[in-house]
Amino acid sequence: MKKRLFILLFLCSFLGFGQEYELWVSGDGSFTNVYDYSFCVTRQHFFIHYNDVNSVLYPNKKIFDTGIYTLSSNKSNISGNYKLSKDGVPGCGAACSEEGSFIFQKMQMIFIGRVGNVVTLDYCYPLKTTNIHNEDRLLHQSAVILPKYVQPEGLDRERVLSDKIFTSSVNNFNIPEAKIPYVKWQYQTDKDFGFKDFPEEIKNIFPMKATIDEVLKDEVWIDINTIKNIKIKRVFIPPVVTLTSTIWPTPYTHTTPTVESSIIILDILRPSPTLDSVKTQSSSCNYKADGGFTLNFNRNLNSEELVMTLYDGTDDSLIYDQEYTSTLTNNSGVYSYTWNKPLDAGSYRVKYQTHTGTGGIDEADDTWKSLEFSDSFTITPARPVDFQVTGSADQNCFKVNDGYIDISATGESSRTFLYQLTKDGVIQFFNGTSWVDYTGSNVEDETWFPFTNAQTTRINKLNKGAYSVKVRDSKKCLAKQL
């Protein structure tokens, strides 16, 4: 009985530093046909060896059945051999063996064996058509070498629609694109009930360089902006092969099993909200570091966290580590976040990003390092409070408290001014008719008196003595003491 050897192999180049490739195999790597006659038993043994993939990763394995096998990253080709051997006793055909070899060449599809109604290995098959066979199998194995894609972890699994599917170096293969006809990419979103093929123009392409929105471009029944995750896998569906022999003229149709990769899951984010404006708040006093700012965004957060880091606006050095929030303040459609830490006057810039996790983002992360700075903004100090004596008069007569001091103050125009009077080293209190030494317990609230005009006032009803004056504004910012 004549048998046919058939091996279908595809190749995708697997050059690349630190990147791994995989051997995808469909079909049995070895089996035995048994022919049981009245006077003897004859066995045909079939083997397919992959010689270059077993020294390290598979030290005790040369024959691979259906599955996916990792290859060493330093391999540029893979060799192997197929073999048929036969044993039996005289009268059942001569014992013999036949073998051939193959090499996976880069970017090439090759066939090993014979297909069709062609007699292969004549010497090994002198069996009579009158023999009754007990078991009959044809050696048929399909294989392909593909880049090995791994599940991204942490922030590396997060994407916006315009991002490429694979962004990290381990999943980016710097090799020319190849179309592998019998291997296709499939996806499933959280809105789907099953996997679908990638669009026709990219479904068989390796390595994959498409963006998420290119994968979803044919979606018409779902709003892709509402997708929260996408699952991706590769499927190897070997072709149906028809083999015939001179012994059994009826064609023999054979299909090896479908092989599927593990599923890669990516989180789909809406793009980080756009920073529309920055509203700064000056420090309360020119000598205080209590300024601040509010970031105004174009949209609210949606099951995501906003992470922000503050930098110097002149040299981009780090000022404060990250602040983060999962809620923004809605001010009539303007969504805001106010920086928590008080700040000195100066120039600043921010970096920000949303993500689905909690807590901050490692600044060494590739996605964070690639962020651009916002435009710089400036926190200004409050205008300093200052004042001067514009006039004074001594007491005219003994026991007639008709001395006075005129003062004029400057500072923030929106604030009012107050003064505190000290005589001979003792803070004074005005009791409604005259100034007396203060003996109370609430000096900060009971000894400051407002200016009678916006920026000027007269402190009158003074008798003789050595006086000093302090001035502050309504935010309790002090001017220098006379």
For residue 261, what pLDDT is reported?
A: 97
Q: What is the pLDDT of residues 11-25, one digit of tens each?
A: 444 333 457 888 888
For residue 88, what pLDDT is reported?
A: 56
For residue 30, what pLDDT is reported?
A: 80
For residue 121, what pLDDT is reported?
A: 35
Domains, the chain, in order of start with CATH, read: 5-148+238-260 (no CATH), 154-235+265-269 (no CATH), 275-379 (2.60.40), 386-473 (2.60.40)
Q: Is the peptide bond before 239 cis (omega within 30 degrees of 0)?
A: no
Distance from C-alpha of 362 to C-alpha of 353, rounded to nearest angstrom: 12
Distance from C-alpha of 151 to C-alpha of 444, rounded to nearest angstrom: 64
For residue 277, what pLDDT is reported?
A: 95
Model confidence, pTM:
0.62
Q: Tell me which amino acid residue 206 is.
A: F
Q: What is the pLDDT of residues 371-396, one digit of tens each?
A: 778 999 999 999 999 999 999 887 66
Report strand pairing: 329-331 vs 334-338: antiparallel
Q: Which residues of 146-180 are buried (b: 16+ CB within 10 A; e: fewer)?
A: bbbbeebeebbbbbebebebbbeeebbbebeebeb
Distance from C-alpha of 327 to C-alpha of 330, rounded to nearest angstrom: 9
Distance from C-alpha of 87 to C-alpha of 273, rounded to nearest angstrom: 74
For residue 28, what pLDDT is reported?
A: 81
Q: What is the pLDDT of residues 62-92, one digit of tens each?
A: 788 899 988 876 666 788 887 777 665 555 5
For residue 393, what pLDDT is reported?
A: 84
For residue 5, what pLDDT is reported?
A: 43
When computed from its CA atoms, the radius of gyration of the chain, rounded to whole angstroms, is 43
For residue 42, what pLDDT is reported?
A: 67
Q: Which residues of the chain have pLDDT under 50?
A: 1-7, 11-17, 94-95, 113-135, 246, 248, 482
For residue 48, give Cα distances in angstroms to 137, 253, 479.
15, 20, 93
For residue 145, what pLDDT is reported?
A: 87
